[in-house]
Amino acid sequence: MALSSAFVGCPKLETLLNHHKLETPLGLIGVRALPRNNRSSRRCLIQRARCELTDSAPNAATISALEQLKNSAADRYTKERSSIVVIGLSIHTAPVEMREKLAIPEAEWPRAIGELCGLNHIEEAAVLSTCNRMEIYVLALSQHRGVKEVTEWMSKTSGIPVSEICQHRFLLYNKDATQHIFEVSAGLDSLVLGEGQILAQVKQVVKVGQGVNGFGRNISGLFKHAITVGKRVRTETNIAAGAVSVSSAAVELALMKLPESSSHASSARMLIIGAGKMGKLVIKHLVAKGCKKMVVVNRSEERVKAIREEIPGVEVVYRPLDEMLASAAEADVVFTSTASETPLFLKEHVETLPPASPEIGGVRLFVDISVPRNVGSCVNEVETARVYNVDDLKEVVAANKEDRLRKAMEAQTIIAEESNQFEAWRDSLETVPTIKKLRAYAERIRMAELEKCMSKMGDDINKKTTRAVDDLSRGIVNRFLHGPMQHLRCDGSDSRTLSETLENMHALNRMYGLEKDILEEKLKAMTSSQQK
């Protein structure tokens, strides 16, 4: 009766049993008389079974009924495959005000995982919370009930009504959930296609989850595989290459127009006029391209100081607005991004400037990303100057976006391949308990028969003979197990489907009576998990 006590001692499973009711008295029914959709209480049946077992000798009907109970309600949740589910809200489905309320700080992820796994139908969990998305990944005993419990938990922690969350959430199950996290990790679900920050955030989920009770084998395996996919997509498709924003396109265009010998950002003297949002982004993109020194012209020094603090190790020189022309005379590339409604540079201003460095051909580049324009089109008439504005940048951005879309299609091929590999890995987990139990069963028989053989052979046998007999018995057992083990493996190495493999597994469980041991182990594992 060890299994019965383990079953009763698991609060989560007792709660699950209450959802699966019986209408016929315990002990008076057979297996086929146990409908799965009836509505009467099962808790009283458990109590009645306890009383009958303690107050009187167990009769055959009572024992049979208890076995039915174990094999119907509890076994349903241990035999049936749990589902990977993602309940999420992202920049594509929910406003920022809602995402802010739902957001969970990284330091709180372990607590959130613990609370989620405390829900009746949730076995494992992970939280991916960024500025653009709030997604909860769970391994659920029941899809419908698991989603309901997680949604209610999200409502409780955020203060947002369930009905409002339901309007903006998205739900994905199993293969669709797997494909989604793989696309997220690869940057295909980001606003900027192929951006790399999300991969670092997925890595952080795994890092924080290490050692957290509830970040289990299935969910941790999913995120680790997602990291592999993200790396592979970026390596094989180079999807992150090419500017897709105005500021990054401005930097890319400027470097493209420099002579090949000076096409590195550190080779030319850079001047940025305006330290607002766009100017700050230009500075960051220049730094990303290797620029270590630049001059920034702005009305006040306050914003330049703030930028300087954000990018230590880079020399950012401040110049006031009245030194703009003098600063331009010392620059090879001039980026303009101010809110001025009149041009800052006209032909008469530029033609008085000395030529740019001989290393870049003596031609000064003006890259104007302002609307209205800060550099007049008449500047193009100056022989030693070239002007590029937002319209020129649009062509770069559009070309890069089109290129990234082509690469995204290539990435989908990789994701499909990796999804199949992950599903094959998950499928292989189904048969692991049976493989272990069958090996243990065969080993018990081998040891018992070996002991009988050795006792018959007497005490005077030498170590060499003992070793030979032991090796013989192991060889026989391994040869015997080879066929069943091959038919239990579902790792994508053969054409057998999962259903065929599971049929083989259930057949072996029935033939050798392994199901009871496997169920008992699962119940004990769930009980110990609840007690941690």
Tell me how far apart the alpha carbons of residues 373 and 368 are, in angstroms, rounded to a whole number: 7
* C-alpha triplet 157, 163, 168: angle, nearest 5°: 85
Are residues 305 and 280 part of one domain?
yes
How many domains would you assign to the chain?
3
Which residues make beta-bridge pairs with 89?
134
- For residue 374, what are the domain limits? 246-398
* CATH code of 253's domain: 3.40.50.720
Are residues 298 and 217 part of one domain?
no
158 assigned to some structural domain: yes
The predicted-structure confidence for 40-79, as pLDDT tens digits, reads as follows 343 343 344 344 434 444 444 544 544 554 455 445 554 5
Are residues 256 and 296 part of one domain?
yes
- Give catalytic status of residue 117 as yes or no: no
The predicted-structure confidence for 291-305, as pLDDT tens digits, reads as follows 999 999 999 999 999
Which of the listed residues 216, 236, 256 is the one where a domain comes to its end?
A: 236
Is 124 a residue whose pLDDT tops 90? Answer: yes
Which residues make beta-bridge pairs with 139?
84, 124
Are residues 229 and 265 part of one domain?
no
pTM over 0.85: no
229 assigned to some structural domain: yes
364 assigned to some structural domain: yes
Are residues 221 and 261 part of one domain?
no
Q: Which residue's structure tokens are 């009645």?
A: 48
Are residues 379 and 257 part of one domain?
yes
Q: One of 10, 51, 117, 131 is an active-site residue; which one? A: 131
Quick one: pLDDT at residue 97?
85
Tell me how far apart the alpha carbons of residues 104 and 88 are, in angstroms, rounded to a whole number: 13
Are residues 463 and 368 part of one domain?
no
Which of the listed residues 176, 204, 236 is the one where a domain comes to its end?
A: 236
Strands 133-140 and 122-129: antiparallel
Are residues 298 and 382 part of one domain?
yes
Quick one: pLDDT at residue 511?
77
CA 475 to chain CA mean position, Å: 43
424 assigned to some structural domain: no
Backbone angles phi, psi at 44, to 5 degrees: -65, -30
213 assigned to some structural domain: yes
* CATH code of 192's domain: 3.30.460.30
175 assigned to some structural domain: yes
227 assigned to some structural domain: yes
Indicate the Cα dihedral angle 488, 493, 496, 501, nearest 10°.
20
Are residues 461 and 376 part of one domain?
no
61 assigned to some structural domain: no
Which of the listed residues 398, 423, 447 is the one where a domain comes to its end?
A: 398
Query: Measuring CA to CA, which residue among 465, 484, 472, 473 is closest to residue 444?
Result: 473
**Segment of 161-175, 357-371, 380-394 carrying the highest mean pLDDT:** 161-175
Tell me how far apart the alpha carbons of residues 299 and 303 are, in angstroms, rounded to a whole number: 9
Are residues 376 and 279 part of one domain?
yes
- pLDDT bucket at 274, cuts 50 / 70 / 90: very high
Are residues 232 and 84 part of one domain?
yes
The predicted-structure confidence for 433-484, as pLDDT tens digits, reads as follows 777 788 888 888 899 898 888 888 888 888 898 899 899 999 998 888 888 8
Are residues 448 and 340 part of one domain?
no
